[in-house]
A and B are shown apart, each in its own frame.
Chain A
């Protein structure tokens, strides 16, 4: 019921926005029949390619009513299973029409389209499928600053023993907005997750953003207050060292950013974290030397 009400409010807001543009916009809507035809296709067709084309035509419409109509279809498993068959899902996300639609939403210049992504995150039938959840997680990187509904979605899909946590954590770091970093920090500090899991997040999500100021600030707080000693050591390693063979295996999927990208503020934070690590964290000799060298370099 609550979902229905939210949906009604959303549609009303969209409709209000549309009305406020004035009747001129309405007149500019060149082809009503095209939209009707698209909706008719979405309602009845069993041809996946036709369905995809019709959905794209609605996506390209600047009319919020068309977007709301599309959302109605995307919220139903009945439609989604006509758009992509179980066999399509078996082939993988890359080959799904829904993946292409979400990509269209991500790249659309039309205001309000990205809000569709946020709406989909709370459509029960849409997120009943793991692949579609993954598509939303990947797309959520672009939703900056992350609204509360997105944070809620991330939180719900990064629980111990689910299969999305690592994707979400990487998306949080890639998103980089403060709400995302706050959640990342909470997850890293949570002892609900095994150490091995959290070490992996550090070696992927943190490593690939280890010169971003918000990430460094979160790392400083984690280091000083919330992490057990074994994880402190790993966090320092991730911030100062790079061991791809050991951390990621041969495929090198998670390279650190170039040091030249670090801002002055980031450099200051690195220096502070380094000095703290040398003073308070039990580092092995090799890592101690690496951290010391970096701190000395930054002092110069």
Chain B
């Protein structure tokens, strides 16, 4: 297969086989003056003999032949498969002989050369010789199947190397010999940032790319795995078999993987669109390194796969396009960890939070759909002890405190506001719904505030030295410079490092973790408002667990990428910021608020 004038190829295994089938002969002269002839055949494909001497038509089992007979050959015997990966031509030789007493008569032989630069010529051939016509066929293997494939089917693929640089593309050739270039990406940031924020890719020349990566409308009843390409693949038990009773899980085992709980890993970009890849496309095959770290729910083919963790640790997922490595995705397999929360609604007549107790579970449900990416889940605090005049609401871990002084709920301020510790419990996330936080202008909206944070054991920073880098960030000069490890990247760089927040604890409350959530999030009862509240809770929890802003005030020291799509980007709307990345997951999960 030609892969372009100056391009070399990486020798990787690929399914590039052709099959030569000798199908039948149409006899004109049987070769004997009297009676019938006794014909047998010999054939060679790529220098190797074809057929079997004992099979019908073989030297030891000649066929009785008369003029104008049609001889059907056993195609399972009179055929040969050749791996053409490293070949430029294949010789096909056939001869028919008439058995005779003294010496066998050659009834005609032919020789033909199949060539790579002619795309191996998938078709049926008719070769007319003096005594017979031979009908034979060349088939190409696509997806391991030899049939007559459509002209547009992809026969062969190669990862491209120009000079010593991997271009990040795959060159492919179709059955009819058309050569094209394909690129696939699995962006770890969801929603996928605009192209100008992504590593430079080879431009798709004259072809149209296909994109997948729009923000998700997260609702309280969305599947928990709604955000694709998470940083953490959850550790789950094997799924229930299709037939038979579900296996009994041992005590403490994680729940079984389902389509609603396994991680969704999706190709986010490819070209050309003419390849028409489907969600379960057999041409795209996924594998994991190490292989036993994850399992695939359903098959491991297509643009989208479902995976679940089997053992904890890093995992590299690779998708191959008919054998050629096309894209990679790195994640962490880890257990889902639960953080207890309690919510307090701080009311003052005329200046109350808009949130009602029944709204809180919806906000938490949405926050959990964002937190699933980092393997965390907020669960109601089982301890129902109350202080500060809090009253139960009928919703687990949700309390009201009525008639608080107005400055405990309106224009709340202070380095450690008293509002944050009303009816709190140590070592849980205390979510205090208030009217508002002090601001300097009516134009300003302040949705939330992480007021009390435990000390992070890794402060002042955490790092990740694997590629592709988290969020495909390029290391800064201070981190050693270089690229993110997404081809083409001649210089994959040093580790990515992010700075963490200092602890912030008020005297006498060493284990208080608290966030304030305000009315600026809007109507807590409708879909848009719920999304804002849930997204805000996830953002503020990120701060409590040590994260700084990715972009905004007090940034985390990375390159500020992605510009808007990370949940820790300050002030971005929830239909834009939906992502946590791998290094953030590592940091968040190490916070003392997260149970070991």
Chain A residues with CB under 8 Å of chain B are: 90-94, 96, 99, 103, 130, 134-135, 138, 161-167, 170, 174, 196-197, 199-200, 203-204, 244-253, 255
CB pair B411–A166 under 8 Å, yes or no, is: yes
Q: Which residues of A contact B543 (CB under 8 A)?
A: 249-250
Q: Which residues of B contact A251 (CB under 8 A)?
A: 446, 449, 552-554, 570
Q: Which residues of B contact A200 (CB under 8 A)?
A: 413-415
CB pair B413–A166 under 8 Å, yes or no, is: yes
Q: Which residues of A contact B36 (CB under 8 A)?
A: none
CB pair A130–B410 under 8 Å, yes or no, is: yes
Q: Chain B: interface secondary structure?
A: loop
Q: How far is the CB of A115 from chain B (nearest CB, A)?
A: 21
How many angstroms from the CA of A94 to the CA of B519 in the assembled complex?
Answer: 12
Contact partner, A164, options B411, B504, B548, Cβ 8 Å:
B411
Q: A164-B411, A196-B414, A196-B415 are in contact. List 7 more A-B contacts (CB 8 A).
A: A92-B436, A96-B442, A130-B351, A135-B442, A203-B415, A247-B415, A250-B548
Q: Which residues of B contact A170 (CB under 8 A)?
A: 438, 440
Q: Which residues of A contact B338 (CB under 8 A)?
A: none
CB pair A162–B406 under 8 Å, yes or no, is: yes
Q: Chain A: interface secondary structure?
A: helix
With known contacts A130-B351, A253-B553, A246–B413 Cβ distance under 8 A: no
Q: Which residues of A contact B445 (CB under 8 A)?
A: 92, 94
How many angstroms from the CA of A130 to the CA of B441 in the assembled complex?
Answer: 14
Q: Which residues of A contact B552 (CB under 8 A)?
A: 251-252
Q: Which residues of A contact B438 (CB under 8 A)?
A: 166-167, 170, 204
Q: Which residues of B contact A252 (CB under 8 A)?
A: 552-554
CB pair A138–B554 under 8 Å, yes or no, is: no
Within 8 A of A (CB), among B489-543: 501-502, 504, 519-520, 522, 543
- Chain B's closest residue to A203 (CB) is B415
Q: Which residues of A contact B416 (CB under 8 A)?
A: 196
With known contacts A94-B445, A251-B553, A246–B502 Cβ distance under 8 A: yes
CB pair B411–A246 under 8 Å, yes or no, is: no
- Chain A's closest residue to B352 (CB) is A90
Q: Which residues of A contact B501 (CB under 8 A)?
A: 245, 250
- Chain A's closest residue to B415 (CB) is A247
Q: Determine if B163 is an interface residue (Cβ-Cβ < 8 Å).
A: no
Q: Which residues of A contact B161 (CB under 8 A)?
A: none
- Chain B's closest residue to A91 (CB) is B522
Q: Which residues of A contact B582 (CB under 8 A)?
A: none
CB pair B504–A94 under 8 Å, yes or no, is: no
How many angstroms from the CA of A165 to the CA of B445 in the assembled complex?
Answer: 19
- Chain B's closest residue to A247 (CB) is B415
How many angstroms from the CA of A255 to the CA of B554 in the assembled complex?
Answer: 10
Q: Which residues of A contact B519 (CB under 8 A)?
A: 90, 92
CB pair A90–B450 under 8 Å, yes or no, is: no
Contact partner, A250, options B351, B414, B444, B450, Cβ 8 Å:
B450
Q: Which residues of B contact A166 (CB under 8 A)?
A: 411, 413, 438
Q: Which residues of A contact B554 (CB under 8 A)?
A: 244-245, 250-252
Interface string of B435-456 (1 = CB under 8 A from A): 0101111111110011100000
Q: Which residues of A contact B176 (CB under 8 A)?
A: none
Contact partner, B442, options A93, A197, A199, A250, Cβ 8 Å:
A93
How many angstroms from the CA of A246 to the CA of B503 in the assembled complex?
Answer: 8
How many angstroms from the CA of A161 to the CA of B446 in the assembled complex?
Answer: 22
Contact partner, B502, options A96, A165, A245, Cβ 8 Å:
A245
Q: Which residues of B contact A162 (CB under 8 A)?
A: 406-407
- Chain A's closest residue to B502 (CB) is A245
- Chain A's closest residue to B444 (CB) is A94
Q: Which residues of B contact A174 (CB under 8 A)?
A: 440
